Amino acid sequence: MDISIDYTTPGPVGEAYLDDDSFVCGIRGPIGSGKSVASVIKLLGIAEMQRVSPVDGKRHCRIAIIRNTYPELKTTTIKTWHAWMPADIGHWRDEGPPTHTITVGDFDIEVMFVALDRPADVRKLLSLELTAAWINEAKEIPKAILDGLTGRVGRYPDAKHGGCVSPQILMDTNSPDTDHWWYTLAEHDDSTPDKAELLKSITDAEQSLREAGIITPEQKLFSFHHQPDGLSAEAENDEGLAQMPGGRIGYYTRASAGKTQDWINVYVHGNYGYVLDGKPVYPEFNDQIHVASVTYNPRLPVYVGVDFGLTPAATLAHRDILGRLMVFDELATGDMGAVRFGALLSAKLNDYGIREAIVTGDPAGDQRAQTDETTPFQILQAAGIDIKPAHTNDFILRREAVVRGMSRLVDGRAALVIDPRCKTLRKAMAGAYHYKRVQVIGSDRYQDKPDKGMYSHVAESLQYLALGAGEGKEVVRKPFINRKPRAAYAITD
């Protein structure tokens, strides 16, 4: 049996994406613009480009397909794949992680589906030898996953089977916010030293590869394609949406009904922007009340909160003479190891001339990894930061420690204030740090724990800061109420 697919490109941008041989190749556009299907077809094209093995006469190809959560992987990504490559072609395994093995004609293709909410699957992903990979809905994926994949693709098959002909990482997404790593790479945003360093590393690598004759002068390491507005005359995937009542225009008009302008801007017009999709962890937050200019005062005690993970973060605050916590700066990273993060945090403290601070971190950072005896706490301590683990990691207590500051007024002003320069923290508190919506029929339901993403780490660093500042103890402190009747005494002769 041969694989036969009847496919029409969604439009000029989709066709350019299909033809692009860049090492990392991304496409961004409105919903329904054919991005995901184009990625499936492009993956099959990569498999077809593989050489026939002189050993067994097969074209060997191993592909990883990544989504942020397993429910989304199963209900969207896998369904899109099976719409073009049915499960009954070859062998389909539903778990551990889901894998589709396709042995048709001279093809020997192994496709693994990985969800980032399954740590065992992520560990396996970052140890695989791959031909290519596809990051589906890249706006939800930490850049650390992309960075890990760059060292995994192109390693399969080995030389005896003809080697890898076209190593590629494909990415598709609806438009992210302007502080997302996609925006930095695609729009060449070098507005901060970290971003400028990132872009320069790509330019230098491209130049070295061209000089070595490994890539042509026209080839790029990173390439990004942007599809037009879904309601414009240049919009793509007319044929794919023709089956909808009213065609493409009807589809986008109905999709826009009842939505906020922010949602329409991102999902219909395809512009960069932020859309709240979930239940905010801090509905108590009011930007007009809790955001104000904070000037660091070196005579006041300083508190620092630290959260680790793929995107470590820190917040810095002092307690003013009224007892209010005043957050004057943040350190929010896109992707960084503990060593570099420790150096940056140490440099930030030095910039303020801070020699002593109460630094409180995620207790999980005091645990050794299976592959390394060094803990993140030890790394930060080696950088001169005297960090201590929070006395608890209970989420409810962490959240309430922050809420206590937001819900109290001291001399007519909020007991927790965030400086506008803390852009990531400000957006997190406004709803980017949220409980993700659960896909169920009926009333809205949400996950019990906040969604892990680029905003969760900086928000949780504030929680550890509040615990270190004693706010957690105030939450559980019982008010003094003397309920016992007073003893009565009679004075006699």
Q: What is the pLDDT of residues 372-382, one digit of tens each?
A: 557 889 999 99
- Reply yes or no on whether the pLDDT at 447 is more than 90: no
Chain centroid offset of residue 340 CA: 19
Check if the beta carbon of residue 60 is closer than 8 Å to that of residue 49. no
The pLDDT confidence band at residue 484, using thresholds 50, 70 and 90, is: low
Tokens representing residue 55 in the block: 């050993």
Please count the CA atoms within 13 angstroms of the CA of 35 that sit on its side-chain side: 31
CATH number of 12-241: 3.40.50.300
Q: How far apart are CA 285 and CA 305, in angstroms?
A: 19
pLDDT tier, 449 (very low <50, low <70, confident <90, very high otherwise): confident
Q: Looking at residue 475, what is its pLDDT?
A: 63
44-53, 137-146, 331-340, 376-385: range with lowest mean pLDDT: 331-340
Handedness of CA 202, 207, 208, 210 (dihedral sign): positive
Residue 1 reports pLDDT greater than 80: no
pLDDT score of 474 more than 90: no
Calculate mean pLDDT across residues 240-266: 93
Structure confidence at residue 319 (pLDDT): 94
Comparing 309 with 300, the larger pLDDT belongs to 300
CATH number of the 280-476 domain:
3.30.420.240
Task: Using the predicted structure, report yes or no on whether residue 245 has a pLDDT greater than 70.
Answer: yes
Residue 168 bridge partners (DSSP): 132
Confidence band for 218, pLDDT divided at 50, 70 and 90: confident
Q: Over range 414-420, report the average pLDDT.
A: 95
Taking the CB of residue 429, how many other CB atoms lie within 10 A of it? Answer: 28
Q: What is the pLDDT of residue 476?
A: 57
SS3 270: coil
How far apart, in Å, are the Cα atoms of 74 and each of 97, 186, 297, 465? 11, 29, 52, 37
Mean pLDDT of the chain: 89
State the pLDDT at residue 92.
97
Q: Which residue has the higher pLDDT, 450 or 493?
A: 450
Percent of the chain clearing pLDDT 70 (strictly above): 91
Q: How far apart are CA 305 and CA 362, in angstroms?
A: 8
Across residues 199-204, what is the average pLDDT?
94
**54-106 tens-digit pLDDT:** 999 999 999 999 998 898 999 999 999 999 999 999 999 998 899 999 999 89
Question: Could you tell me the residue ranges of all domains in the chain?
Answer: 12-241, 280-476
Q: Could you tell me the end-to-end alpha-carbon distance of the chain, in angstroms, rounded to an integer?
A: 114
Picking from 96, 109, 93, 98, the residue whose alpha carbon sits closest to that of residue 74 is 98
What's the pLDDT band for 371 if we cut at 50, 70, 90?
very low
pLDDT for 191 equals: 82
- Per the model's pLDDT, the better-predicted residue between 449 and 175 turns out to be 175
User: Which residues 6+ apart lie within 8 Å of 454 measured at CB?
Assistant: 142, 180, 311, 334, 424
Q: Which has the minimum average pLDDT: 263-272, 274-283, 437-446?
A: 437-446
